[in-house]
Structure 1
Amino acid sequence: MAEKMNLTAVKQENQVMERHIEDSLAIIPPIQDSYTSCSNDVEFDNLRVVDVGTGAGLPGLVLAIACPGWQVTLVESMNKRCLFLEHVVNLTGLSNVQVVRERAENLGQDLGFREKFDVAVARAVAEMRILAEYCLPLVRVGGLFVAAKGHDPQEEVRNAERAIKLMGASVLKLCSGILCGDRNLAMVYGL
């Protein structure tokens, strides 16, 4: 891995911490609130999480480090990114991470992955309607899909409501501000 890989446009350490690490960690409290407020047969400390379109491993690698009881699957279609992710997983010794080289739209049709995850997360992948089509097939009945959005997600979620409903899910809540680390999250339940 001696060659330089351009995985993110953010280069300054303080911006990496804020825009990538803090944003990734901001996903945890809403997931925890959802799993502790609902009567659920799955414990928050033992979730199966899929990060769709993980790119450089964000938020998946950060979640795997912060929540070592979670089993995190990183889904990425680009081979060079997968090689990078596999290198990072081996280098760090993370035993709770699996890297899957596949397109999200194909993975949802694979019976080995379909409806197998408690939580699907996506960050900076696509608009909400498309994300729902990619992520919801991966979420088990009663699971959660969390989309991290960098802008006000209300209109985007409104535009995606029909697709979300057709896929058997509903919008749980939109979250922004202090609870979400000053970031916007759209949370959708899979039914």
Structure 2
Amino acid sequence: MSSFVCLSPDRIMLSFCSNRILRAPSSLSLGTFIEHLPTFSPSASTFRRINRKAFTTNASLSTPLIEALSPRQKEQIDLYVDTLLQWNQKMNLTAVTEKSEVMERHIDDSMAIIPPIQTYLSQYGTSFDDLKLVDVGSGAGLPGLVLAIACPGWKVTLMESMVKRCAFLEHTAGLIGLSNVRVIRGRAEDFGQDRSTREIFDVAVARAVAEMRVLAEYCLPLVRVGGLFVAAKGHDPALEVRRAEKAVSLMGASILQICSVESHGPYGQRTAIVVRKDNPTPRKYPRDPGIPARLPL
């Protein structure tokens, strides 16, 4: 069995997807998919307890997360990985060059954030079936494209500033056949101040983009009050999270948990940092493009 461990705030001394919409065929229903996911059940009354229920990612197509997908979804994942590796020969999308390693380091790892999203939203009575999710700094579409395949009921926005990567994302979404994906090009700081994208998303996710202090300012202005920001991080992000506590608070949010995902891969544990948006973000945030990265809060 796999393991999914949540470290409480007390334990670490602080609180651990162009505007073009593309088409897709029908897939396994989200409800059926979720029923087959490994469970993750923190205390219903408090997030300040360690929960040792577990789940693990593996390096092959036979992992529980992958096996919960329909045959069509598995084909979409396979086509995505092949396209990623083909495009990677002419542009920098990933340092990984082997298909098995992409499955291990990227696909399962991306899908691993689904259970904590489901769990924490259900704690606040939010429907899990028709989420509006934004993947900030989507790059190669990780985790956004993977989440769009696994959860076809979600409306996934892929936010990316580089033209070539946006071209890859649009090409791949069209090739796979995803009607629930749109790609928007630009910087998070600009979209965070744009009324059409500010505080409209149920969930913002980011993976391999920046440190938590910077991610908080990139992502939280995009999330509605009561929504979540989930950052995929390495095996020991406690210090990084502690340093980000001020930035998270300034954005009107609070850190709920650091959820550790046990991995059988050579790079060990991965974590998902779960942040809840409690209040509207002050209008002065995010600051102008480039400032959050140069002068983190």
5+ residue gaps, structure 2:
1-82, 279-297
Q: Where is the helix percentage greater, Structure 1 or Structure 2?
A: 1
Q: Which amino acid aligns with 1:92?
A: I
Whole-angstrom CA distance in 2 between matches of 1:187 and 1:73:
19
Return the offset for 1:106: 1.0
Superposition RMSD in Å: 1.7
State whether residues 132 and 202 of structure 2, in contact with CA within 8 Å, keep that contact through their aligned partners in structure 1. yes
Q: Deviations over 1:57-114 (max 9, x none)?
A: 0000000000000000000000000011010111111000000001111110000000
Structure 1 stretches of 4+ moved >4 Å: none
Return the offset for 1:5: 2.6
* Alignment of 1:26 onto 2:112: yes
Q: Where is the strand percentage greater, Structure 1 or Structure 2?
A: 1
Q: How many residues align?
A: 188
Three-state SS of the structure 2 residue aligned to 1:45 is coil
Higher relative contact order (CA 8 A, sep 6+): 2
Whole-angstrom CA distance in 2 between matches of 1:92 and 1:61:
10
1:73 aligned partner: 157
1:15 aligned partner: 101
1:184 aligned partner: 271
Whole-angstrom CA distance in 2 between matches of 1:88 and 1:152:
33
1:60 aligned partner: 144
State whether residues 234 and 269 of structure 2, in contact with CA within 8 Å, keep that contact through their aligned partners in structure 1. no
Return the offset for 1:39: 3.1
* Alignment of 1:129 onto 2:213: yes
State whether residues 235 and 269 of structure 2, in contact with CA within 8 Å, keep that contact through their aligned partners in structure 1. no
Which stretch of the first structure deviates more once superposed, 169-178 or 97-106? 169-178
Three-state SS of the structure 1 residue aligned to 2:255 is strand
Whole-angstrom CA distance in 2 between matches of 1:6 and 1:169:
34
Instruction: Give the structure-1-normalised TM-score.
Output: 0.94
Instruction: Give the structure-2-normalised TM-score.
Output: 0.61
Whole-angstrom CA distance in 2 between matches of 1:74 and 1:39:
25
Whole-angstrom CA distance in 1 between matches of 2:228 and 2:269:
21
Residue identity over aligned pairs, in percent, reads: 68
State whether residues 153 and 185 of structure 1, in contact with CA within 8 Å, keep that contact through their aligned partners in structure 2. no
